[in-house]
């Protein structure tokens, strides 16, 4: 085995061979050598091939060229190895909002053969403690602004031996230590199949799972969706909201721009308003954000009767949640741009079904990304014909490996990754999202997908946001219940509730209308923008 890992923790906790998904490497661009370090490929190689002086990372009042990022990443790797005793295979926790030093740390860890465990900035001590224990984290690099919760967690975590803070001028901070290093690190010659990241699932249900991804997986996602669907150019400027700790953000805002020598804008705050301002300030051309964020930007512009300052944008990507047809239309009306929808998952690292602007169909996610295969299965893993709703099953160069977790056997069956989504494929091979399989409501014998009712409600002019769940009902088993956030100026009350129910009955089959409607101030969402339906159940 050509592994470079001296610390074999990751290898020792891979799922058993018979529970792993089947991996496909059919495309010529997916033929990887046995030794591969993805930091070498994405960073050192870009500099070696002459991209050194080009702008790589932009942030508030700062620009780093590819050469600058390489220098920083080398120094981080040197500090980790020389000062902090990092050995290949050790896990390094990263904690920061999206900023240039987080990117430098990510590459520093990977160069040194470490395993990057990036965490959501909003995590509290209790959640960080879980991550540290589960991943047996030995080192942490943390933005000084987010120190408190990490310190609180580390106090009870003896495995975590070394923590360095960055974005600080302190003499014991990471930058001071980096300044004492030469900046000429020689990357560890890792195996293509050495784990380089542990990505935790967002945990919308249950205990978070740690997914394991190899150096090869990182290069595989760069070789599939970006060149075949997104088609970015070296002169593009990427921007967006997902945290780098979410693999949607890691790919869209760091790996993909770097894989083509483009530049990326990293924003510590990327709410709809900050995002719009930053697009204009940086002249961004490629954007990644969630459906709700597109909706908020478009409706705000419409309400204020002004055009969006998005004239430089040419490609806009939506992922993380189903994209309602109405949101796709609103964004097109506001900007003239057809959204690129894509479904991805932490388990598969990035997007595996998608459609570019020219192929996009309202209401469909798209077709399998080259390199991936997808099909819709019944409960017994038999493929269903077009038009039938079943379990989405996917195979490709990436796939699910949960670190030491019995739930592996539920996500992977007969070599297929089962994402937990109910989908149907139409006659033309387009995949249509229905619901999370656990969000299918069964009322009086009818199957009702929550998102379909949500989409119907979103078309009503009074509705800003909504979430639909099934609640227990004596007579019908479950009934459809809608939680509705109204647009400003709209008055909640029984009349509006009735009007909304009528409105839904007229746009979808009447049995799907929400028999209960509750008006709320806001909806519970994860940091990645996903609606937390389980919290609605608790309300």
Give me the residues that bind ligand 3UK (CB under 6 A), please. Answer: 201-202, 247-248, 319-323, 341-346, 350-351, 365, 419-421, 433, 436, 528
Cα separations in angstroms, 294 against 230, 317, 340, 485: 18, 10, 12, 17
The residue among 296 and 400 lying less far from ligand 3UK, judged by its C-beta, is 400
CA 408, 414, 417, 421 dihedral sign is negative
DSSP run (H or E) holding 59: strand 55-59
* Of residues 4, 209, 185, 175, the one with CA closest to residue 107: 185
Three-state SS string across 452-464, please?
HHHHHHHCCCCEE
Minimum CB–partner distance for residue 273 and ligand 3UK (Å) = 23
Minimum CB–partner distance for residue 380 and ligand 3UK (Å) = 21
Minimum CB–partner distance for residue 118 and ligand 3UK (Å) = 12
Distance CA 304, CA 298 (A): 10
Minimum CB–partner distance for residue 244 and ligand 3UK (Å) = 12
Distance CA 513, CA 456 (A): 9
Alpha helices (runs of H) in 336-462, residue ranges in sequence order: 408-411, 450-458
Encode 312-350: b = buried (16+ Cβ within 10 Å), e = exposed.
ebebbbbbbbbbbebbbebbbebbebbbbbbbbbbbbbb
Minimum CB–partner distance for residue 261 and ligand 3UK (Å) = 22
CB atoms inside a 10 Å sphere around CB 51: 21
Distance CA 457, CA 513 (A): 9
Distance CA 228, CA 356 (A): 9
The residue among 413 and 515 lying less far from ligand 3UK, judged by its C-beta, is 413
Give SS3 for 272.
Answer: helix
Minimum CB–partner distance for residue 41 and ligand 3UK (Å) = 20
**What does 432-495 look like in DSSP terms, one character per residue?**
EEEEEGGGEEEETTEEEEHHHHHHHHHTSTTEEEEEEEEEEETTTEEEEEEEEEEPTTPPPSHH
The residue among 51 and 288 lying less far from ligand 3UK, judged by its C-beta, is 288
Q: Which residue is nearest to ligand 3UK (CB)?
A: 344
Minimum CB–partner distance for residue 65 and ligand 3UK (Å) = 27
The residue among 86 and 286 lying less far from ligand 3UK, judged by its C-beta, is 286
The residue among 178 and 343 lying less far from ligand 3UK, judged by its C-beta, is 343
The residue among 208 and 415 lying less far from ligand 3UK, judged by its C-beta, is 208
Count of H helices and E strands in the chain? Answer: 19, 25
* Strand 351-354, strand 367-368: pairing: antiparallel
The residue among 97 and 344 lying less far from ligand 3UK, judged by its C-beta, is 344
Minimum CB–partner distance for residue 337 and ligand 3UK (Å) = 17
The residue among 71 and 421 lying less far from ligand 3UK, judged by its C-beta, is 421
CB atoms inside a 10 Å sphere around CB 126: 11
Distance CA 268, CA 222 (A): 24
Minimum CB–partner distance for residue 242 and ligand 3UK (Å) = 8
The residue among 39 and 343 lying less far from ligand 3UK, judged by its C-beta, is 343
Encode 142-172: b = buried (16+ Cβ within 10 Å), e = exposed.
bbbbbeebbeebbeebeebebbbbbbbeeee
Minimum CB–partner distance for residue 327 and ligand 3UK (Å) = 11
Minimum CB–partner distance for residue 419 and ligand 3UK (Å) = 4
The residue among 237 and 394 lying less far from ligand 3UK, judged by its C-beta, is 394
The residue among 51 and 246 lying less far from ligand 3UK, judged by its C-beta, is 246
Could you give phi then psi for residue 431, rounded to 5 degrees? -100, 130
């Amino acid at each position: 085995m050509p592994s470079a890992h001296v610390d074999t923790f990751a290898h020792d906790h891979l799922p058993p061979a018979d529970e792993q998904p089947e991996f496909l490497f059919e495309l010529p661009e997916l033929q990887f050598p046995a030794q591969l370090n993805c930091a070498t490929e994405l960073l050192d190689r870009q500099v070696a091939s002459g991209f050194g002086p080009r702008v790589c990372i932009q942030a508030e009042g700062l620009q780093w060229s590819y050469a600058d990022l390489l220098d920083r990443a080398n120094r981080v790797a040197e500090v980790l190895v020389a000062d902090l005793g990092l050995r290949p295979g050790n896990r390094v926790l990263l904690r920061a909002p999206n900023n240039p030093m987080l990117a430098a740390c990510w590459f520093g860890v990977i160069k040194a053969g470490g395993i990057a465990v990036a965490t959501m900035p909003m995590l509290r001590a209790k959640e960080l403690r879980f991550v540290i224990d589960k991943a047996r984290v030995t080192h942490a690099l943390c933005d000084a602004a987010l120190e408190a919760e990490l310190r609180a967690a580390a106090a009870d975590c003896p495995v975590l031996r070394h923590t360095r803070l960055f974005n600080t001028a302190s003499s014991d901070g990471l930058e001071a230590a980096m300044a004492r290093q030469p900046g000429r690190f020689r990357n560890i010659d890792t195996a293509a199949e050495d784990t380089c990241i542990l990505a935790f699932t967002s945990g919308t249900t249950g205990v978070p799972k740690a997914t394991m991804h190899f150096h090869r997986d990182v290069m595989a996602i760069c070789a599939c969706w970006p060149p075949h669907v997104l088609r970015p150019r070296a002169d593009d400027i990427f921007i967006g909201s997902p945290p780098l700790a979410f693999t949607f953000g890691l790919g869209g805002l760091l790996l993909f721009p770097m894989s083509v020598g483009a530049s990326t804008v990293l924003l510590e705050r990327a709410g709809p308003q900050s995002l719009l301002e930053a697009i204009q300030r940086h002249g961004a051309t490629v954007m990644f954000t969630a459906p709700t964020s597109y909706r908020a930007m478009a409706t705000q512009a419409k309400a204020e009767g002004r055009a969006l300052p998005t004239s430089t944008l040419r490609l806009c990507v939506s992922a993380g949640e189903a994209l309602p047809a109405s949101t796709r239309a609103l964004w097109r009306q506001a900007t003239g741009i057809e959204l690129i929808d894509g479904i991805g998952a932490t388990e598969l690292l990035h997007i595996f079904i998608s459609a570019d602007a020219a192929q996009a169909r309202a209401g469909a996610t798209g077709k399998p990304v080259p390199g991936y295969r997808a099909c819709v299965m019944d409960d017994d893993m038999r493929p269903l014909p077009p038009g039938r709703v079943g379990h989405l099953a996917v195979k490709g160069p990436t796939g699910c490996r949960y670190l030491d977790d019995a739930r592996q056997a539920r996500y992977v069956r007969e070599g297929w990754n089962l994402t937990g989504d109910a989908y149907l494929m139409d006659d033309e091979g387009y995949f249509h999202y229905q619901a999370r399989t656990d969000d299918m409501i069964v009322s009086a014998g009818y199957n009702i997908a929550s998102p379909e009712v949500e989409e119907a409600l979103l078309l009503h002019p009074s509705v800003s946001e909504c979430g639909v769940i099934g609640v227990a009902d004596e007579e019908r088993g479950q009934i459809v219940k809608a939680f509705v956030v109204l647009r400003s100026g709209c008055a909640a009350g029984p009349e509006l509730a009735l009007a909304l129910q009528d409105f839904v009955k007229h746009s979808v089959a009447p049995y799907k209308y929400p028999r209960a409607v509750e008006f709320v101030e806001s909806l519970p969402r994860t940091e990645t923008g996903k609606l937390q339906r389980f919290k609605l159940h608790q309300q």
